[in-house]
Amino acid sequence: MQSLRRKVAVALGSVLLVAACSPAGDQGESGTERSTATPADIEAVLRRYAEALNTGDSQAWFNYFADDVLFTRSSGTIEGRAGIEAWAQPIFDSYDMHETITPREIVVSGDWAFANLDIVFEGVPKSGGDSLLQDIRAIFIFEWQPDNSWKIAHGMLSSVPAQE
C-alpha cells in the first residue's frame, strides 16, 4: 500500500511540476485566459459534479470530463469521454444515485489541479431491491480547458473494503 501511495504521489508531483514549469503569462497555449483558480473554485466544481450525479442529469455529469480523459478503476481504465458515457449511462438508467464528496486535499497549479477525495456513493435500484453502498477513495486531476472550464483529465477510483 505504501508503494502505491508513493507511486501516486510521484505521478501527481510530476504533473504539477510540469504545470508549474510551463511558461508564465496571462494566455494559455490556445489563447484562452489562464486559470487563476483556488482550491475553493475546485470544491465548487466538485459540488456541481456531485449535484449532476445526484439529480440524475447524466449529460451534465458527462460534461465534467475532458474529451481525452483517462479514468482508472479496479476493473480497468476507461479512455475518453465517449468511454465514460458508455460505462456510466447504464448506471444512470438503472439507479437513483447519491454521492457525497469530501476533499482531503486540493492543490491548484496554473492550468492544473488535483483533488484527493473521499466519496460515499449510494445507488438505489430504480427497479427496487437493495441499495448499493460504496466507500471510495479517488484522485481527480483537472485541466483548465479552452472553453474556460475545469474538466477531469485523469481520475482514479478505489473502493474501500467494508469494515466488519
pLDDT in tens, 43-57: 999 999 999 999 999
Look at residue 14 and tell me if it is in a domain. Answer: yes
pLDDT digits (tens, 9 = 90+) for 14-68: 333 333 333 333 334 444 566 789 999 999 999 999 999 999 999 999 999 999 9
138, 47 Cβ separation under 8 angstroms: no
Q: How many distinct helices (H) and strands (E) make up the chain?
A: 4, 6
Domain at 51, CATH number: 3.10.450.50
Does 106 fall in a domain?
Answer: yes
Q: Is residue 53 assigned to a domain?
A: yes
Give the three cell numbers for residue 65: 470530463
pLDDT in tens, 74-103: 899 999 999 999 999 999 999 999 999 999
Domain holding 49, by residue range, is: 2-18+37-160
In the three-class reduction of DSSP (H, G, I as helix; E, B as strand; rest coil), residue 4 is classed as: helix
Please tell me the pTM assigned to this model.
Answer: 0.78
- The set of residues, in sequence order, having a beta carbon less than 8 Å from that of 96 and lying 6+ positions away, is 56, 123, 124, 126
Q: Does 31 fall in a domain? A: no
Domains in the chain, number: 1
